């Protein structure tokens, strides 16, 4: 029985790596698949993982109709057994419905991968539809961690060093890469997301005047959140 599965998690938790592994495993058993992505950090028409692996993929434009594309393949004698759909948060709700129809009417497995919520904690439209329609939503087992050591659950956007909660929903970018990007992301636990306490802000707060003039880079990062009077 074919399935629509949504593998989700925060940024940087291994979704693209798992997408590449699943493609590899299914291909190794002579199943025919197609790989899709949208706005991958590495560029157009490529599915890339931070572990260094990547593969060619079809870039999903807003007007791509999955049903038409796969039905055309089938009528040309190229039956497809599974689809890998990375960065699925960026797909339109209509496209998610087309994917569900492929599962139900053509018995094609669809494995979708993506983050659920944006930097404002609001669901991406594509992810919302996936949660509504998927046979299973599976949260990735590998947890990305907040700077405090707790499991990260939220994706914060950092612009010029400051966490922001307003702006365009889609801005392609990476978690802090040390490359001085204007827009970066940082995964945080809910508590620190709510307090807008990024690792940078925590480090700044942890440095009391008594400690100065030590080099900031030498100051140990607090392992637990500082207790506040209202805790
Ligand atoms: N140098 C490394 N050594 C081991 N694991 C790494 C390394 N760099 C990245 N990773 C792993 O890769 C994960 C990110 O994988 P990726 O597939 O790019 O994530 P996602 O698609 O969810 O954003 C990290 O959470 C980490 O587990
Ligand atoms: C939170 C958030 C993220 N994005 C972008 C940033 C990245 O390009 C992708 C997520 O990729 P990953 O493989 O899961 O790391 O999404 C965005 O556009 N808007 C957001 O709010």
Condensed to tens digits (0 to 9), the pLDDT of residues 99-108 reads: 999 999 999 9
Query: Is 118 a pocket residue for ligand 2 (Cβ < 6 Å)?
Result: yes
* Residue 96 assigned to a binding site: no
3 as an active site residue: the answer is no
Q: Where does the pLDDT of residue 212 fall: very low under 50, low under 70, confident under 90, or very high at 90 and above?
A: very low
Annotated binding-site residue? 91: no
115 lines ligand 2 (CB under 6 A): yes
Lowest mean pLDDT: which of 24-38, 63-77, 148-162, 206-220? 206-220
Task: Say whether 172 counts as a known binding-site residue.
Answer: yes
Degrees, nearest 5: CA angle 216-222-224: 165
Instruction: Please give the structure tokens belonging to residue 174.
Output: 């990476």
Check whether 209 has a pLDDT greater than 60. Answer: no
Residue 2 has pLDDT above 50, yes or no: yes
Is 110 annotated in a binding site? The answer is: no
- Alpha carbon distances (Å) from 48 to 15, 38, 41: 10, 11, 8
Å from CA of 173 to ligand 2 middle? 6
* Nearest ligand, measured from the Cα of 87: 2
Q: Is 75 exposed, middle or buried (0-12, 13-18, 19+ CB in 10 A)?
A: exposed
What is the spatial distance between Cα 14 and Cα 213, in angstroms, rounded to a whole number? 39
Contact (CB, 8 A) for 115 and 173: no
52 Cα: distance to centroid of ligand 1 (angstroms): 9
Query: Alpha-carbon distance 39 to 53, whole Å?
Result: 17
Q: Kindly give, in sequence order, each residue whose CB lies less than 8 Å from that of residue 92, ignoring residues fewer than 6 positions away.
A: 62, 125, 126
> How confident is the prediction for the chain on average, in pLDDT?
91
pLDDT in tens, 59-118: 999 999 999 999 999 999 999 999 999 999 999 999 999 999 999 999 999 999 999 999
Closest residue by CA, ligand 2 atom 9:
172
Q: How many angstroms is it from 114 CA to the middle of ligand 2?
A: 9
Q: What is the residue with the minimal CA distance to atom 1 of ligand 1? A: 51
Helix (H, G, I), strand (E, B) or coil at 41: coil
- Given the residues 44, 54, 59, 87, the one annotated as active site: 87
Q: Which domains does the chain possess?
A: 4-139 (3.40.50.300), 154-218 (no CATH)
Beta strands 154-159 and 183-188, pairing class: antiparallel
Q: Do residues 21 and 111 touch, judged by C-beta distance below 8 A?
A: no
Q: DSSP labels for 164-195?
A: ES-S-S-----B--SS--SEEEEEE-HHHHHT
User: Which of 115, 164, 170, 174 to mutate to test ligand 2, by most ligand atoms within 8 A of the CB atom?
Assistant: 115
Residues in the chain: 231
Residue 12: closest CA among 182, 135, 207, 153: 153
Residue 144 CB less than 6 A away from ligand 1: yes
């Amino acid at each position: 029985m074919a399935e629509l599965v949504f593998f989700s998690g925060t940024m940087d938790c291994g979704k693209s790596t798992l997408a590449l592994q699943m493609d590899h495993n299914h291909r190794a058993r002579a199943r025919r698949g197609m790989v899709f992505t949208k706005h991958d950090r590495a560029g157009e028409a490529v599915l890339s993982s931070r572990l260094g692996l990547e593969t060619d993929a079809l870039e999903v434009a807003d007007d791509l109709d999955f049903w038409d594309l796969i039905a055309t393949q089938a009528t040309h004698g190229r039956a497809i057994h599974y689809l890998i759909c990375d960065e699925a948060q960026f797909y339109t709700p209509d496209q998610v419905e087309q994917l569900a129809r492929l599962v139900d009417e053509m018995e094609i497995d669809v494995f979708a991968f993506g983050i659920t919520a944006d930097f404002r904690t609001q669901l991406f439209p594509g992810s919302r539809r996936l949660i509504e329609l998927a046979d299973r939503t599976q949260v990735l087992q590998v947890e990305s961690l907040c700077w405090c050591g707790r499991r990260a659950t939220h994706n914060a956007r950092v612009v010029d060093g400051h966490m922001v909660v307003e702006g365009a929903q889609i801005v392609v970018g990476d978690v802090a890469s040390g490359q001085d990007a204007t827009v970066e992301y940082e995964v945080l636990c809910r508590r620190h997301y709510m307090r807008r306490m990024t690792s940078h802000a925590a480090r700044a707060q942890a440095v009391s005047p008594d400690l100065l003039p030590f080099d900031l880079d030498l100051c140990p990062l607090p392992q637990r959140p500082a207790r506040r009077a209202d805790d």
